Amino acid sequence: MTNRLDGKVALITGSGGALFDSEFGLGFGGSSAFRFCQEGATVIVSDINDDIGQQFTEELKEKGFNAHYKHLDTTNETEWKKLLIG
C-alpha cells in the first residue's frame, strides 16, 4: 500500500454491518473502511448495528489498523451533531 491517507481521518457510515469471515463479505462500507485503513487513514467505523460494528472495529485493530467505532444513525440529525460536535 502507498499510505496515501497517512495522517487523515475518515468517517465511513454504514461500515459496521459485516465481519471479515462473513459469508456475505464486508459490503461497500466495510470494504471501504478496510481499504482506507490499508492506505494509512485513521478510520471511524459508524453504523446502527453496534455489536457487529464494534466487533469489526476490533478486527481492524487486530490487523494493526487505527480504527474506532461510533454509533450513528445517518437519518438522525441529533446523532450527527453529537458525533461531530461532541
Q: Which residue has the cell 454504514?
A: 14
pTM of structure: 0.90
Q: pLDDT for 36-58, tens place per residue?
A: 999 999 999 999 999 999 999 99
Q: pLDDT for 3-48, tens place per residue?
A: 899 999 999 999 988 888 887 788 899 999 999 999 999 999 999 9
In order of start, what are the domains of the chain with their CATH numbers? 9-85 (3.40.50.720)
Distance CA 37, CA 41 (A): 5
72 Rama sector, left if φ>0, alpha if ψ -120 to 50, beta otherwise? beta
